[in-house]
Amino acid sequence: MKFAVNYSTDLSKLILENSLAIDMIKCPDWDGIILEARKLLPVYVHFDILVGIGKVKKLKWDKIHRLMDLTNTEHINCHLVANSDIDPILKSDQLKLLKIWEEEINLLSAKFSNKNIVAEHFPFMPYHPHMRQAVDAENISRVVKETGCRFLLDLAHARITALVLGLDERTYALSLPVDRLSELHITGIKEYCGYLVDHFEMQPADWKYTEWALKMIKTAQWPEPKFVAFEYGGVGNTFAWRTDQEVLKEQVPQLAQLIRSSRPLV
């Protein structure tokens, strides 16, 4: 397992000060950030690819290939989403969404091979009811199995979805296709503007959930992922205001130690 942290200017300062020991930097598919991050450590790209809304055909394939080659990114990620016209409960819409997912993931596979495609689930937000089908564990497991792709488990997304839908947090995670685990994301969640939101610093409940997930890996109940990323911090209007250098100083070493001690026993 390689330990990565989201790129941020605060992270870069700490790396230059030799204050943090991490393996890689996780970057968005932005050329400028990737070029800056590569001066510090190896990087891998987390692409903004949405599967399920008809945008895959319009992707800039040359750019994706170029960034993967530039950074030696080992797999290409995609996010499982649903159009706003998908009914949250209709069986016919479930089948419609699964068909779209399968077609679009297969299109990605044709470009990059299904061994290199990793599907990530989104958190469920009540103001996006159509996403109920997209966070359904049965639907996610089915498309991962049918396409042969790998799975990216986002622990914060899993917790948010379970809490909003009134599900047990661990039971929901276990119902996802964790047998195909290839990447793990970790971050804290907080209530913000009346909703649970991720990409915050780790809270006690986040640590507990993370410790449980890493124990599942250590005991070989889940496969060992290639990457474990702490998704705290970032750049731009979405993430910069949630980035605190003191949090990075405190929590990155704690996570690094936890991950090192969680390598599989066999």
- pLDDT tens-digit map of 45-74: 999 999 999 999 999 999 999 999 999 999
**What is the predicted pLDDT for the residue at 152?**
98
Average confidence score pLDDT of the chain:
95
Residues 89-126 pLDDT 10s? 999 999 999 999 999 999 999 998 877 999 999 999 99
Confidence (pLDDT) at 242: 86
Indicate the helix (H) or strand (E) that contains 24.
strand 24-28
pLDDT beyond 70 at 250: yes
pLDDT at 98: 98
**In contact, 58 and 86? CB cutoff 8 Å:** no
Q: Is residue 206 part of a domain?
A: yes
| Close Cβ partners of 73 (under 8 Å, ≥ 6 residues apart) | 44, 45, 67
Of 81, 80, 59, give the one whose Cα is nearest residue 68.
Answer: 59
**What percentage of the chain exceeds 90 in pLDDT?**
92
Tell me which H or E stretch contains 210: helix 204-218
- pLDDT tier, 77 (very low <50, low <70, confident <90, very high otherwise): very high
At 266, is the pLDDT very low, low, confident or very high (cuts 50, 70, 90)? low
Kindly state whether residue 145 falls inside one of the protein's structural domains: yes
Distances (CA, A) of 34 to 29, 38, 71, 91: 7, 6, 8, 42
Asked if residue 83 belongs to a domain, the reply is yes
Q: Is 5 helix (H, G, I), strand (E, B) or coil?
A: strand
Residue 91 domain-assigned (yes or no): yes
Q: Which of 75-79, 110-114, 213-217 has the least mean pLDDT?
A: 110-114
Q: Count of alpha carbons within 13 Å of 39, Cβ hemisphere only?
A: 10
Say if residues 152 and 182 touch (Cβ distance below 8 Å).
Answer: yes
Are the beta carbons of 75 and 182 closer than 8 angstroms?
Answer: yes
Residue 154, CA atoms < 13 Å, CB-side half-sphere: 26
Q: What pLDDT shows up at residue 67?
A: 96
Q: Which two three-digit tokens encode residue 150?
A: 């790998």
- Averaged pLDDT for residues 220-227: 96
Tokens 């705290």 sit on residue? 232
Pick the range with the lowest mean pLDDT from 23-32, 69-78, 177-186, 256-265: 256-265
Q: pTM of the predicted model, to two decimals?
A: 0.96
Show the domain range for 135.
Answer: 2-260
CATH (domain of 195): 3.20.20.150
Check residue 237 and give its pLDDT: 83
In degrees, rounded to 5, the angle at the alpha carbon of residue 92 between the alpha carbons of residues 90 and 95 is 115
- Euclidean distance between CA atoms 262 and 212, whole angstroms: 10
In a domain, 229, yes or no: yes
Query: Per the structure block, which two tokens stand in for 171?
Result: 């039971």
**Residues 188-201, mean pLDDT to the nearest whole number:** 95
Q: Whole-angstrom Cα distance, residue 195 to residue 172?
A: 19
Q: In the structure, what pLDDT confidence band is assigned to residue 175 with cuts at 50, 70 and 90?
A: very high
Residue type, 155: L
Q: Is the pLDDT of residue 265 over 70?
A: no
266 part of a folded domain? no
Average pLDDT in the 179-196 region?
Answer: 96
Phi, psi of 175 (to 5 degrees): -85, -10
Q: Are 185 and 155 in contact (CB under 8 A)?
A: yes
Q: What total of structural domains would you count in the chain? A: 1
Question: Reading across the β-sheet that carries 2-6, which strands appear in turn?
Answer: 43-46, 24-28, 2-6, 227-230, 181-186, 150-154, 117-121, 76-80, 50-51
Give domain status of residue 265, yes or no: no
Residue 142 lies in a domain: yes
